[in-house]
Amino acid sequence: MSIIHPTAVIEDGALIGENVSIGPYAYIGREVTIGDHTSIASHTVIEGHTTIGKGNRIFSHAAIGTIPQDLKYDGEDVELIIGDNNTIREFTLLNPGTKGGGSVTKIGSGNLLMGYVHLGHDVIIGDHCILANGATLAGHVELGNYVVIGGLTPIHQFVHIGDFAMIGGASALTQDIPPYCLAEGNRANLRGLNLTGLRRHMERDEINALKSAYRELFEEGNPLQDVAQRLFEESRSEKVKNLCKFIKTSKRGIPFIRKS
C-alpha cells in the first residue's frame, strides 16, 4: 500500500508502484513511472518522461526530469531513466536527454547522488557511483561503474570516466579519465591509480598488473598510444586490456604530466 500525502499533486497518467511513499507538496507529472518501494520526500518535482525503478530514496526539493538546459531543445520527446536502489539527496537536478544526444539520460543502480548534484542532458552513469555534494556533470558525460566524484567538481561535456576511477574534490575535469585511475587538480591530471577503491574490489595480482601498466603508460615518457597498443596485445590481464582499450578510444585525450 502506497502512502501519499494529501497535499501531493499527482497528475492523471502517472504510474505509481506498490509501497511508494510521497511526501507533502511533491509534484508528479503525468508521464512519470515510479517503481515499488520508492520514497519521495516533500517538495520534490518529478516530471517529463521519467522512469524511476524500485527502492529509490529521493530527498526533498529534488528536481527530476525537468526540461534539459539546452537552448536547442524544442519540446522533443526525451527521457530520463533511473535504475534501482539509488539515493538522490536534497536539491539535486537531473535532466532528460536531447535529440542530438540520443534523447535519453540514464542512471544505473546503487548510486549515491549527494546534495546539489547536477546531471546534464544525455549523461550516462553506471552502477554504484558516488557523486559528492555539488558535483556538476555537463551534457553527454559518461561514467562507468564504481566511479567517485569529489565535491564541487565540474566535468566538461562529452568527458568519459572509466570504471573504478576517482576524481578529487574541487577539481575541474576537461578530459577523459581511464578506468582504475585517480585524478585531481584544476585542470585535473592523473595522479596515479585509485588504490583505495581497487583494494576493495580486486585481488592483489590484478592490482599489481595495473601498477606495472600505469608506470609504462604514464611515467616512462614513451608515446602513450604506442604503449597502450603494445600492452593491449601482450598483457594477460583483462583489467590492463580494459585500461589500454579506453586510452586507444579516448576522444578528448588523457590528462597527465608527460615526461621529457
Summarize pLDDT for 168-224 with one digit per residue, the tens: 999 999 999 999 999 999 999 999 999 999 999 999 999 999 999 999 999 999 999
Residue 65 within any structural domain of the chain: yes
In this structure, are 223 and 117 located in the same domain? no
pTM: 0.97
pLDDT value at residue 158: 98
pLDDT value at residue 17: 98
Give the mean pLDDT of 44-49.
Answer: 98
pLDDT at residue 8 greater than cutoff 90: yes
In this structure, are 125 and 32 located in the same domain? yes
pLDDT at residue 86 greater than cutoff 80: yes
pLDDT value at residue 2: 92
CATH number of the domain encompassing residue 220: 1.20.1180
In this structure, are 8 and 90 located in the same domain? yes
Q: Which of 35, 97, 139, 150 is catalytic?
A: 139
User: Would you place residue 259 in the very low, low, confident or very high pLDDT band (cuts 50, 70, 90)?
Assistant: confident
Residue 184 within any structural domain of the chain: no
In this structure, are 7 and 128 located in the same domain? yes
pLDDT value at residue 260: 65
Domain containing residue 24: 3-140
User: Would you place residue 258 in the very low, low, confident or very high pLDDT band (cuts 50, 70, 90)?
Assistant: confident
Residue 221 within any structural domain of the chain: yes
Active site residue 121: yes
Cell of 123: 549523461
In this structure, are 206 and 81 located in the same domain? no
pLDDT value at residue 1: 84
CATH number of the domain encompassing residue 59: 2.160.10.10
User: Would you place residue 6 in the very low, low, confident or very high pLDDT band (cuts 50, 70, 90)?
Assistant: very high
Q: What is the DSSP letter of 99?
A: G
How far CA 21 is from CA of 34, 54, 56, in Å, comes to: 10, 12, 10
Dihedral sign, Cα of residue 82, residue 175, residue 150, residue 63: negative
Question: Which of residues 121, 140, 159 is at a domain's end?
Answer: 140
C-alpha span between 19 and 2 (Å, rounded): 4
How many CB atoms are located within 10 Å of the residue 86 CB? Answer: 24
Q: Cell 562507468 identifies what position?
A: 144
Q: What is the DSSP letter of 65?
A: S
| Structural domain count, the chain | 2
In this structure, are 207 and 130 located in the same domain? no
Q: Which of 37, 49, 121, 128 is catalytic?
A: 121
Q: Which of 84, 122, 163, 176 is catalytic?
A: 122
Using a pLDDT cut of 70, give the percent of the chain over it: 100
DSSP string covering 112-142: EE-TT-EE-TT-EE-SS-EE-TT-EE-TT-E
Summarize pLDDT for 87-126 with one digit per residue, the tens: 999 999 999 999 999 999 999 999 999 999 999 999 999 9
In this structure, are 122 and 209 located in the same domain? no
Active site residue 139: yes
Active site residue 77: no
Residue 160 within any structural domain of the chain: no
What is the rounded average pLDDT for all residues in the chain? 98
